[in-house]
Chain A
Amino acid sequence: DAGVIQSPRHEVTEMGQEVTLRCKPISGHNSLFWYRQTMMRGLELLIYFNNNVPIDDSGMPEDRFSAKMPNASFSTLKIQPSEPRDSAVYFCASSYGGQATEAFFGQGTRLTVV
């Protein structure tokens, strides 16, 4: 298994444009998480899904952010419209339910909004 796969690895976009980040979790995992990493705030949980259902999106910063998981093998995080303060590294992670389960992280998408 190639692990959690994120695309693109790097994204540079202009303010106001729509950005879509993609994630393919590890096959068989039933939980998926989106995190944002910045120097100022560290790793913040944005949203997580369990069995494709959003469980908690309280970490999503604004209505400009939305996430979907149409099936067990794919999730997207969309920012519309994007702003310079959205610049960060966005990580997707997946895990399989159980006690103290390990979360497996993707390589991340480095987003720069200019």
Chain B
Amino acid sequence: AQRVTQPEKLLSVFKGAPVELKCNYSYSGSPELFWYVQYSRQRLQLLLRHISRESIKGFTADLNKGETSFHLKKPFAQEEDSAMYYCALNGGYNKLIFGAGTRLAVHP
């Protein structure tokens, strides 16, 4: 079965604290994984994809096939990082299967 699990509905941290948003997946084959972000009153947009191995806005995510995980990390959270974060898996034909999402709240 193709599935994405984000165990935390809400992650609340203070500005400057490290952040890790967890994502686990279930997929038979070589997965393509993404993180999408939805800021308040904005449309859902791509944050990063595992294939690019890039850092966007200070965020990174490493694909761990052994643990079937793709956790999103940032060493020092900023208030402007507050948003809804979705982990997504390409289920074929670029069809995205999303996790339930984690709301990140960064407090001053």
Interface of A toward B, CB cutoff 8 Å = 3-4, 31, 33, 35, 41-43, 45, 48, 50, 55-56, 91, 93, 95, 97-108
Contact = CB atoms under 8 A, between A and B. Distances in A.
A99 B98 contact: no
Interface in B80-108: 86, 90, 93-101
Given A42-B98, A42-B99, A100-B51, A91 B93 contact: no
20 contacts: A31-B93, A31-B94, A33-B95, A33-B96, A42-B99, A50-B93, A55-B95, A56-B93, A56-B95, A93-B44, A95-B94, A100-B32, A100-B50, A100-B51, A100-B90, A102-B49, A103-B94, A103-B96, A106-B43, A107-B43
Interface residues of B, number: 21
Q: Which 7 A-B pairs have the closest CB atoms?
A: A42-B100, A43-B98, A105-B44, A100-B51, A102-B46, A100-B32, A105-B43
B31 to A, nearest CB: 10
Contact of A97 (B51, B94, B101): B94
Contacts of A108: 43
Interface string B14-52: 000000000000000000101000000001111001111
A97 B94 CA distance: 7
A91 B46 CA distance: 15
Contacts of A55: 93, 95
A4 to B, nearest CB: 8
A45 B95 contact: yes
A35 B43 CA distance: 13
Contacts of B32: 99-100
